Structure 1
Amino acid sequence: MTASIDPRTRIGHVHLRVADLDRALGFYCGVLGFALMQRYGTQAAFVSAGGYHHHIGLNTWNSAGGTPPPPGHTGLYHVAILYPTRAALADALARLDAAGIPLTGASDHGVSEALYLDDPDRNGVELYRDRPEDEWPRDEAGGLQMVTRRLDLVALRAEAPPRGGATR
């Protein structure tokens, strides 16, 4: 048996190929609210939350003017962006609503609540928040019981802070 990976290991960032860097920045910075950390002309940019060097890299190195892969091909299913609180997730939903960006799904998984959508290049995006571990659904033996139920978007929208407010 192979030794387990160190449990402190995390995914540090994702790097996405995009067709149009300005369009991608309009979505990730303009709609979702990430900060532009560095830009390399029209070829690449790095965005983050909270001043980290980058959470998402965007590049046109092999994709400028390209089209998304057709259904049935391999590639990225989605990138998941973890929000720290339900209010922060509600703020993300309010941003999407204000920009007219439709959801492709919204699920309550018991352990988390998730919004699903596509970015302008049809890369899948999941915006989610984890519930505290003591609220995770468990079976009688204590095993994790993830579920997929419809997320109550009306209740989530009601938790959004006033536009322009902080999301702590």
Structure 2
Amino acid sequence: MTTETSYALTRPAYVDQSHLVVTDLPLVSSFYQSMLGLGVIEKSANGEVLGVNGTPLLALTTGKDVRVAPRNAAGLFHTAFLMPDRTELARWLRQAAHHNVVLEGASDHLVSEAIYLSDPEGNGIEIYADRAHDQWKFHQDGKVEMATLRLDLQALYNSAPQDTWNGMADGTAIGHIHLQVGNIPEADAFYRDILGLKLMASYPGASFFATGDYHHHVAANIWNSRGAGTRADGMTGLSDYTLRFNDKASLDKAVAKIDELEIKSEKRNGGVFLHDPWGIGLTLAA
């Protein structure tokens, strides 16, 4: 069965992988395998790469100098795993309920339906499914209509097939990554003005950025982290992530802007690696 590529991944750029630093690698890896249904793709002495059907999505690493990040540090708000469709979201919810997974919230965002939880070290997770793009409402300025409404979890659960859950379905991806940052104007200046992402929505204390009229590939908020400075080396949580470009012209434009502003960067893993204003690593790759 061929899985249709999610709309989020067909845009000029999308989030490809995420990398978390953890203190207890076996515990955290076990959670993502058993509760989220990711599979181990690679193992090393100090890390693992997890994903779906051989496609890497999440790298976990640890080390002897790792220290726990304070809750108000810049870094990860949540990694958002995008299901291929609503049926897979319902199927995941059904198995989560049967395994007593602790949920922290559930919302209807108009463009998507989302369920929230955290891993054992407090890294936020969103599991979501998009509504069809032709159902989204756009304003005259090009921004997308989003909201935070109550999601009927029971109705979603009831819609799940009564079959065996065998882990995340082929086609599951990181649909977006939501960051904690120190201030919003600086986030807008970096993600919109330098990287070239479009500002798709603004909430009090948060901005949502995307390419190709997706609702958001990257979000940034100050809800826990107002005034946060640069992340320290060895801090737990989000080390870095990859923004993958389908459109090389968009990548070249972003790299040219980085060079023009003399932002420190380096060639790494076939892409350009740099840090955002809060020390969160980011690889731009074709």
Matches of 1:35 and 1:9, distance apart in 2? 25
Asked whether the equivalents of residues 23 and 63 of structure 2 are also in contact (C-alpha less than 8 Å), the reply is no
Deviations 1:101-146 (A, max 9, x none): 2111100000000011101110000111110011123458986311
What corresponds to 2:76 in structure 1?
76
Aligned residues: 158
Secondary structure, counterpart of 1:121 in structure 2: coil
What corresponds to 2:49 in structure 1?
46
What corresponds to 1:23 in structure 2?
27
The 1:76–1:143 alpha-carbon spacing in structure 2 relative to 1, beyond 3 Å, is: closer
Matches of 2:14 and 2:34, distance apart in 1? 26
Structure 2: where are the runs of 5+ without partners?
Answer: 1-10, 171-286
1:133 equivalent to 2:133? Answer yes
Deviations 1:71-127 (A, max 9, x none): 322211110100011111112212322222211110000000001110111000011
Query: Which deviates more, 92-101 or 10-19?
Result: 92-101
Deviations 1:17-61 (A, max 9, x none): 1121111121111121111101113x1000111221x11001113
Secondary structure, counterpart of 1:92 in structure 2: helix
The 1:142–1:121 alpha-carbon spacing in structure 2 relative to 1, beyond 3 Å, is: closer
Matches of 2:62 and 2:140, distance apart in 1? 50
Matches of 2:77 and 2:154, distance apart in 1? 27
Matches of 1:21 and 1:108, distance apart in 2? 33
1:117 equivalent to 2:128? Answer no
**TM-score normalized by structure 1?**
0.83
Matches of 1:100 and 1:11, distance apart in 2? 29
Q: CA RMSD in A?
A: 2.3
Structure 1's consecutive aligned runs of 4 or more residues displaced over 3 angstroms after TM superposition are 137-143, 165-168
Asked whether the equivalents of residues 14 and 55 of structure 1 are also in contact (C-alpha less than 8 Å), the reply is yes
What corresponds to 2:150 in structure 1?
150
Identity %: 35
What corresponds to 2:62 in structure 1?
60
The 1:18–1:141 alpha-carbon spacing in structure 2 relative to 1, beyond 3 Å, is: closer
1:100 equivalent to 2:100? Answer yes
Asked whether the equivalents of residues 107 and 151 of structure 1 are also in contact (C-alpha less than 8 Å), the reply is yes
More strand by share: 2
Asked whether the equivalents of residues 111 and 136 of structure 1 are also in contact (C-alpha less than 8 Å), the reply is yes
Secondary structure, counterpart of 1:11 in structure 2: strand
Secondary structure, counterpart of 1:129 in structure 2: strand
Matches of 2:78 and 2:141, distance apart in 1? 32
Asked whether the equivalents of residues 32 and 95 of structure 1 are also in contact (C-alpha less than 8 Å), the reply is no
**TM-score normalized by structure 2?**
0.51
Matches of 1:122 and 1:50, distance apart in 2? 26
